[in-house]
Amino acid sequence: MQPDDNTLMELYRKMLLVRTLEKRLEHLVTAARVPCSGHFGLGQEAVGVGVTGPLRTTDYLFGTHRGFAEYIGKGMSPKEILAEYYGKATSGSKGRLGQHLLKVEAGIMPLPSSLGSEFGISVGCALSSVRRRTDAVTLNLFGEGTASQPDCSAALEMASLWKLPLIFACSNNQYVELDRYSNVSPRADVAPRAEAYGVPFEIADGNDITVVWETTARAVQRARDGGGPTFLEFKTYRRSTHYTGDPGGYQAEEEIKAWERKDPVDRCRSLLRQRGILGEKGEQELLAGIEAQVEEAVRFAEESPFPQPDIAEANSYA
Ligand SMILES: Cc1ncc(C[n+]2csc(CCOP(=O)(O)OP(=O)(O)O)c2C)c(N)n1
Ligand SMILES: [Mg+2]
């Protein structure tokens, strides 16, 4: 099952939007126009956009701290993302969260600060869909470093026992903060751990958007049909540094170059050319539209008001 022409075009548009928005925000952070840092995902756009492609608005997403691919993929706009980063009252959290993106009406659950704490919450989310007799699927996307948090094992065990409609999607970008994953874990693959809990797994090319989309679409269908959880691992590579304050230098130039040749945006563009869907002129128009959309979002975020102090107490228990 391959994405049809319209789906592929939409996946490509979203990847280009993510790349343009991240690059723009990186400049804004460096210029101190945004009151926080950023963790970007240059080269791994196909994972976030691909895993959210087969999801419905009524499905749930637990996303990552890295980049905007899954957030754009699941239905956030550049305005909503930038308003959050700027800490403005017009954002989803009304200026309370900063980098912690959310859009509950699109099924995007708020990103927690403590990585891995979402494993248990995602189990509860999937369990609530079963209890409410809906066919909603929950997808939790996390990094290979985060997969070492003990809650991942507990979540796999309970999701398997209760046959929950939960997808564990691991974006393996081979780096955990400033270290190679091979320096912190004895195994290169994460997904086979799922077998210990009776959860089927697949390892796939995370830089091919059609593969990511198709692999996830099968897992989503299985979950929706009551077949239980699946663990998916997508192999990719982080060409960004860990975050905007990281000077880098610990990733070999040849390694970065080798992955540049497997760039997911370039590969998708080639496929669109092959299929005769997108030509040179169409590409230029698409990019111009995306750049205008991003600039409009920057203007919106910068002109939006900061929250009033009383927002700190709203929606709190006591
Ligand atoms: C519990 C916890 N420990 C440490 C951190 C700090 N931290 C932020 S990002 C990160 C790296 C996570 O690596 P990985 O899961 O592979 O995701 P990637 O950054 O590569 O996308 C760490 C350790 C955190 N946010 N939460
Ligand atoms: Mg990583």
The answer to whether residues 23 and 219 touch, using CB atoms and an 8 Å cutoff, is no
Confirm if 115 and 100 have CB atoms less than 8 A apart.
Answer: no
Q: Which long-range contacts (CB under 8 A, 24 or more apart) does 221-224 make?
A: 223/137, 223/164, 223/165, 223/166, 223/167, 224/135, 224/137, 224/165
Ligand 1 atom closest to the CA of 176, numbered from 1: 13
- Residue 6 Cα to ligand 2 middle (Å): 31
Helix%, strand%, coil% for the chain, nearest 5: 50, 10, 40
- Token pair 């979950």 is found at 223
The answer to whether the CB of 12 falls within 8 A of the CB of 4 is no
| CATH class belonging to 5-304 | alpha beta
CA dist 57 and 66 (Å) reads 21
Ligand 1 contact via 79 beta carbon (within 6 Å)? no
Spell out the domain ranges in the chain: 5-304
Q: How far is the CA of 164 from the centre of ligand 1 (A)?
A: 26
Mutation choice for ligand 1 from 152, 177, 236, CB with most ligand atoms inside 8 A: 177
Between the CA of 288 and the centroid of ligand 1 the distance, in Å, is 34
Decide: 240 in ligand 1 pocket, CB within 6 A.
Answer: no
48 CB near ligand 1 (under 6 Å): no
Distance CA 259, CA 84 (A): 31
pLDDT values of the chain reduced to their tens digit, one per residue, 318 residues: 889 999 999 999 999 999 999 999 999 999 999 988 999 999 999 999 999 999 999 999 999 999 999 999 999 999 999 999 999 999 999 998 888 999 999 999 999 999 999 999 999 999 999 999 999 999 999 999 999 999 999 999 999 999 999 999 999 999 999 999 999 999 999 999 999 999 999 999 999 999 999 999 999 999 999 999 999 999 999 999 999 999 999 999 999 999 999 999 999 999 999 999 999 999 999 999 999 999 999 999 999 999 999 988 887 887
